[in-house]
Amino acid sequence: MIELDDLDRKAAEAFPGHIVRKDLVRRFRGQFPVPTYVVEFMLGRYCASTVPEEIEEGLQMVQSQLSDRTVRAGEEELFKSKARDRGSVRIIDIITARLDAKTDSYLATLPSLRLNDVRISDKIVLDHERMLTGGFYAEIELGYDASIAQEKGGRPFEVLSLREIQLSTRDILEKIAAGRGQLTTREWKDFLLRSIGLEPAALSTRAQDATLLRMIPFVERNYNLIELGPRGTGKSHLFQQVSPYAHLVSGGKATVARMFVNMANGQRGLVCQYDVVCFDEVSGISFDQKDGVNIMKGYMESGEFSRGRESIRAEGSIVMVGNFDVDVQHQQRVGHLFGPMPPEMRNDTAFMDRIHCYLPGWDVPKISKELFTDRFGLVSDVLAECFSGLRSQSRVNVLQGRVHFGGALSGRDQNAVNKTVSGLLKLLYPDPTVAVPDDDLEWAVRLALEVRRRVKEQQKRIGSAEFRNTQFSYVIGLDGVEKFVSTPELQSEDSIGSDPLPAGQVWAISPGGQDESTGLFRIEVTESPGGGVRILNQSPPGPFRESARIAEQNLYARSRELVGERNPREHEFALQLRSFDAAKSGEQLGVGVLVGLCSALLGKPLKGGLVIAGGITLGGSIEPIHNPIDVIELAMEKGANAVLVPVSSRRALIDLSDDVATKVQVLFYADAPDALRKALHD
């Protein structure tokens, strides 16, 4: 027995009777032919305790009941014989039903007993309509009538009663929301991860965020998520093993009748019956009708579909998971990140536009025993019931007046981001009356913008001009700074991305000197109350120290031209230089430093993809660059789309090659205020 840690003790106090040790579930894995949530349902009934003796006693009960009621391969006839001898037998199995038109009655199918003609009353079927679509696991009392067996074509087996394997308590969400208040946000995130069987300490921050994103379709209505990535990362586990409200559609044909509505009998399909419908191995999915994908697109857009005369609303979220055969970088080189999708969806930008979240499956590690937790988490059916209860709520109102999105977001983009933020905040704060701190709101907003932007980037890659602007940004608060969110797989640490850097950060190129070639640098400036300029680098190189000193004096001397009414002497600037090449001295970076100081003081970022070259004297004159062609060529190599250089370099750039000139825009400036005006983001 492992010793309880702080989170275990807090959870036991906050959620009495609703937690279970997750390693107990693994003890039964593979022993019985049922999903994880069925085992946890039994464990929650008998082992929801932290007392070792009670857990051990409960385990024996669970072992006994699962042994007596689950049908292993080869035991089918034994259970049928028991039903005949005793009159009835109890089993745990997945049950589905269908209408038999010949007898005008319902017939149930119990796959573990290989029975597909079991009598079942109309009332049981109508009380549990999901058995008419994908079916569900239940504890079933199966009866046997010998007199019917002797009739010609008789059907002696009958479902006498059943109990769904899921929680029936209605106020469970209120109890869990109250218990959540006893944990910090960090502890609650860890506890959520443990509740689905993972140990947060074994996961990176990116992997934890991706796992939380996987939960959003359970708590958000009509949420469309896609996850593509390497094999073996557990993409379908959550949708198959953790909740009875989710249904997994394995690779192959998906029928319109099963997904949406059966026109023959009016029976509603999976999206009406389940909270989440997940397509596994999505590359192999195809519909039985030509208009299947169009019906799916219409449903993903509005939550409605029309079959016949009526329009039907449903709330089931759509999840698609699949595998890359190559790594993400190679996938981007040879095509785009929707490449593994079926042909009818692969290059359809209208279909892509309906995806609210492209989850980065490559950030999730391959499943191994080190990732599984031995600690306590919520019983799966409690968690599933809470998730289902949260679907009727919304947290979009939290954004109102606090978050303002940039102009690059279209209406669909904003809707997608709103839904993702709402889902993440519901997961973090199941009680809608609790105030959401700015830090948690910003975490949710950044994640939501990233997963939606990933969709937009693929649309742009396919070549549609309408998706060209992908620079997603946001501002928190009325006086906040505009911040841009990128997708990490498009970024390289040593290259200039097309997104604006945060205010105060500048890409700059040093022309080098006698002993040093041109080099790329990033200047990072932060501003706070105080006075002076402080360089954070240990032992900063002399030429850069001199550039910083001269830039500071120019800021004080020409403050009105540069920053208006703001008084730079009332602010302290912390300055850091990062080198990305062999060049280390930071020669002639004065204009870049000065623009960085002004950007930090004004709280305005510079244009994305821009790099600045040029030095400045104490008197404010701009120093000429001796090798402007080298500077422009390096800027192109590093991914810049615009270079700001002194106007004195104009004649020397006549010899710039056509190839470079067409790839990089050269902007000229006359003095420091001119450079600042041309550098600031509009």
Task: Sketch the domain layout of the chain as residue ranges.
Answer: 20-69, 75-164, 171-371, 394-484, 492-679
Taking Cα atoms as reference points, which of 627, 630, 633, 634 lies closest to residue 649? Answer: 627
171-371: what CATH class?
A: alpha beta
What is the distance between the terminal CA atoms of the chain, rounded to a whole angstrom? 61
Assess if CATH 3.30.230.10 describes domain 492-679: yes
pLDDT at 464: 64
In 164-224, where does DSSP find H-type helix? 172-180, 185-195, 205-219
Yes or no: say if 24 and 48 are a contact pair by the CB < 8 Å rule.
no
- With a pLDDT cut of 70, the percent of the chain lying above it is 96
Q: How far apart are CA 284 and CA 282, in angstroms?
A: 5
Sort residue 153 into left (φ over 0), alpha (ψ -120 to 50) or beta.
left
β-pairing, 473-476 vs 483-484, is antiparallel
Q: Which residues contact 555 (CB under 8 A, 6 or more apart)?
A: 562, 563, 568, 594, 597, 598
Residue type, 189: K
Q: How many helices (H) and strands (E) does the chain have?
A: 26, 28
Neighbours of 302 (CB within 10 A): 12
Q: How far apart are CA 275 and CA 219, in angstroms?
A: 8
Fold of 75-164: OB fold (Dihydrolipoamide Acetyltransferase, E2P) (2.40.50)
Task: Report residues of the chain scoring pLDDT below 70.
Answer: 1-2, 134, 166-170, 252, 308, 326, 333-334, 463-465, 491-494
pLDDT at 152: 79
Q: How far apart are CA 663 and CA 560, in angstroms?
A: 36
